[in-house]
Every structure is written in C-alpha cells, then in structure tokens.
C-alpha cells in the first residue's frame, strides 16, 4: 500500500523489524571489542568522588580573613580617631620696612636659608644719616647750657651767680639793719636825716635780698629748662639713630626666605610687604575633626601622622590643644542658623598637634602639606 493510502486510512503503525543476522553479528562484535559506557548513577558517584575540596577551603579562609579584618577595624575604631582633613601649619613672618626709601641692596634670594639677625636688604640711608648728624648737633648745643667739657654750663653758672647775689644782698641788709639799730637809741643826738637814711638803707637792702632770691628761682627754672632741652635733644638723637637703623632689614628669626617681592632701586613705603621668612623648625599639625569625634580626645594623647608627600613614613606627635570654637565660627561670614532655613551640618573642631622630635633633613615638613592624623584615644 502506498504512503498516501496509509495517510488517508489512519495513523501509521510502525512494526519493529526483526534483527537480521548481520545486525546480531555487529552487536556481538561491538560488545566484544568495545567497553560498554556505565549508567548515569554510576557516573554521578564517580564525579562526586573526583570533586576537589580546595575551593571550599579557600573560600572558608577568605571568609575568616574578612571577618578577622572587620573585627580588627572595629576594635581599632573604638580606640582611635582619624581624619585626612588635616595639614601642616607654621608661622609665616612678613618682612616690612619701618621707614620709606629706595632699596640700595638686596642680600638674599628666593628660598634661601637665613639665620636670625642676618641682613636681608638695605635702604638708602643718606637722608637719615644727615638727620642724625643734625640731632647730634642739637644735643651738643643743649648740653652746653648744663655742662660743657667737665664744667658747669650757662644755666648752672647763672644759678650760682644768683645764689651769690643773694648772699651779698643778705650781708648788705644785715649791715644796714645793724646801723639802724645803733642810731635808734641815740635818735636825740643824731639828726633826723641820718636816721631816715639808715631806715631807707635797711629797706633797700631788704628789697635787694628779695630780688636776689627771685633771681635764684629764675636761674633754677632755667637750669630745669636746660635739662629738659637736653633730654629732648637726646630723645631726638636716639629717634634719628633708630630711624637710621631701620634702613637695614634683618631676619627676625631663622628660616627660609619666601615670596620675595623687592628689587634694587625700588621705592618702598612703610609697612609694604617685601618678603616673608618661614621657620621650618617650628611646625605643627591642625586636624579638623568632626564634632562627633572629639568626645574622647584629650591633651597629651599620642598621634600618628602620615604625610602625603612621604608615603610609608609615619611621624609621631601629641595633642597640644583643642580650638575653643568650630572652624566655621572663625570664617569671614559665620553661618547663622536663626534665619529659618536650618540645615544641620556636622561641624569641624580644629585640633592642634605638636610634632615630636626635630625635623628630618631628608623629609622636611613644610606648612600647607596634607596629612592624615590618627589619634589614640584609649
């Protein structure tokens, strides 16, 4: 029957064909020459026996290591406070002229190390030198009124003369009064004219005594005035000498010259910034801790300082002081939370840290460097 006829009459029933002798011969040959593959349960058992336990061990070790690291970090955080909002600070001392003038000499260069008292620059001092000479002359003239070359000056001499005149007048007055006392008992014998003359002479000598005493007072005042003029001239001379000394600007402290902004021939004014001196031997760290981290920070606690410029190197320090207010309170425009638009922001409290030991010449700490500070609080 054809295929179309079978399709029309219903489903086709497949009848398995009997294995031929050839097929039986082939299966027997395959069984004799080849291994028969095992069944599926047998393969699963063999695979389970061959499974490697190393990944499980590695995973367990990693989990334990992460757990130990977490515990260690938790314990470290309980006893330490750290921040990278910190930097090295130091003094920056400006060099300012106290007198105006033209620059005659600049003795240093940018980034040069200088010692305390070393000359930095010199101004033209000819005008101030002339003023000092004039002040010396005025002082010498004033001193001649008091003393000169080991002798008394004019004012002192006049005082001595006035005192001598007082003694002379008193002697003349004494004689006049004695003569008057001698004539009064014999007034009947002597003429009235002689008695009146004696009385007039006594009054005249008394007036001379008073005049001489007034001269003494005037001479004493003249001596005091001369002494005041000497003191004034001496002060003017010292001021002129001080002004002359200001023409030489010296380093106020040992350090490094920075921001030099002056050249020879330049006219500088009083208070004009010319350069700065930075003492590298005296630096410290300011760490801005969050206000929630300063509860257990105390003065004297140990600090580990890691500087970004020197990776792998840790510097030791101690907490020196805590700021009395947050950093925002010292800003140019402090925030005011009373406006109604309140947004709570965690504030920063500056903590000053003193670096232990001297500077390392190979790793110099300079103001402005970024650091990470770790404070041991327990």
Report the chain's mean pLDDT, rounded to a whole number. 82
**For residue 233, is pLDDT > 80?**
yes
Matching residue, tokens 């029933």 = 13
At residue 236, the pLDDT reads 94
**For residue 109, is pLDDT > 80?**
yes
Report strand pairing: 113-114 vs 255-258: antiparallel
Asked if residue 250 lies in contact with residue 120, where contact means CB atoms within 8 angstroms, the answer is: yes
Q: What percent of the chain has pLDDT over 90?
A: 44
Q: Which fold has domain 80-91+277-376?
A: Elongation Factor Tu (Ef-tu); domain 3 (2.40.30)
Higher pLDDT: 93 or 50? It is 93
How far apart (Å, rounded) are the C-alpha atoms in residues 323 and 351?
6
| SS3 state at 311 | coil
Q: Which residues contact 280 (CB under 8 A, 6 or more apart)?
A: 90, 255, 256, 359, 364, 365, 366
How far apart (Å, rounded) are the C-alpha atoms in residues 207 and 184?
21
pLDDT tens string 61-83:
888 888 877 876 666 666 788 89
Q: Which residues contact 100 (CB under 8 A, 6 or more apart)?
A: 267, 268, 269, 270
Tokens encoding 358 = 């001297």
**For residue 11, is pLDDT > 50?**
no
Q: What percent of the chain has pLDDT over 70?
A: 81
Distance of CA 305 to the CA centre of its chain: 20
Count other C-beta atoms under 10 Å from residue 377's C-beta.
Answer: 16
At residue 313, the pLDDT reads 92
At residue 276, the pLDDT reads 96
pLDDT tens string 351-371:
999 999 888 889 999 999 999
Count other C-beta atoms under 10 Å from residue 52's C-beta.
Answer: 7
How far apart (Å, rounded) are the C-alpha atoms in residues 242 and 233?
14
Q: Which residues contact 340 (CB under 8 A, 6 or more apart)?
A: none
Burial of 347 (0-12, 13-18, 19+ CB in 10 A): middle
Asked if residue 83 lies in contact with residue 293, where contact means CB atoms within 8 angstroms, the answer is: yes
CA-nearest of 357, 356, 351, 358 to 373 is: 351
Burial of 129-157, coded b for 16+ CB within 10 Å and e otherwise, reads eebbeebeebbeebbebbeeeeeebebbe
**For residue 45, is pLDDT > 60?**
no
Burial of 255 (0-12, 13-18, 19+ CB in 10 A): buried
The pTM score is 0.63
Give the H/E segment covering residue 80: strand 80-90
> Domain spans of the chain?
80-91+277-376, 126-245
């Amino acid at each position: 029957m054809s295929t179309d006829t079978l399709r029309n009459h219903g489903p086709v029933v497949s009848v398995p064909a009997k294995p031929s002798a050839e097929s039986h011969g082939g299966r027997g040959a395959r069984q004799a020459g080849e291994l028969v593959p095992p069944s599926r349960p047998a393969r699963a058992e063999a695979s389970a026996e061959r499974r490697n336990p190393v990944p499980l061990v590695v995973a367990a070790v990693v989990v334990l290591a992460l757990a130990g690291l977490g515990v260690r970090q938790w314990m470290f955080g309980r006893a330490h406070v750290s921040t990278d909002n910190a930097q090295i600070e130091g003094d920056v001392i400006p060099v300012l002229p106290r007198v105006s003038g033209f620059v005659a000499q600049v003795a240093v260069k940018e980034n040069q190390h200088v010692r305390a008292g070393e000359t930095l620059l010199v101004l033209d001092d000819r005008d101030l030198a002339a003023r000092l000479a004039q002040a010396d002359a005025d002082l010498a003239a004033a001193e001649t009124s008091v003393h000169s070359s080991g002798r008394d000056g004019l004012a002192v001499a006049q005082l001595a003369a006035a005192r001598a005149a007082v003694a002379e007048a008193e002697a003349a007055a004494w004689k006049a009064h004695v003569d008057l006392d001698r004539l009064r008992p014999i007034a009947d014998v002597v003429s009235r004219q002689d008695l009146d003359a004696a009385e007039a002479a006594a009054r005249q000598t008394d007036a001379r005594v008073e005049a001489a005493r007034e001269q003494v007072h005037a001479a004493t005042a003249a001596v005091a005035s001369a002494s005041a003029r000497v003191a004034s001239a001496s002060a003017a001379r010292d001021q002129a000498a001080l002004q002359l000394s200001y023409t030489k600007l010296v380093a106020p402290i040992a350090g490094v010259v920075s921001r030099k902004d002056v050249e020879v021939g330049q006219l500088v004014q009083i208070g004009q910034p010319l350069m700065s001196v930075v003492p590298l031997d005296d630096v410290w760290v300011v760490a801005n801790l969050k206000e929630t981290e300063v509860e257990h920070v105390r003065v004297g606690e140990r600090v580990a300082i890691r500087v970004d410029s020197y990776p792998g190197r840790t510097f030791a320090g101690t907490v020196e002081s805590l700021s009395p207010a947050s950093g925002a309170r010292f800003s140019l425009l402090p925030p005011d939370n009373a406006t109604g638009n309140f947004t709570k922001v965690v504030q920063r409290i500056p903590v000053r840290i003193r670096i232990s030991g001297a500077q390392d010449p190979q790793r110099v700490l300079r103001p402005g460097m970024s650091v990470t500070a770790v404070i041991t609080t327990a």
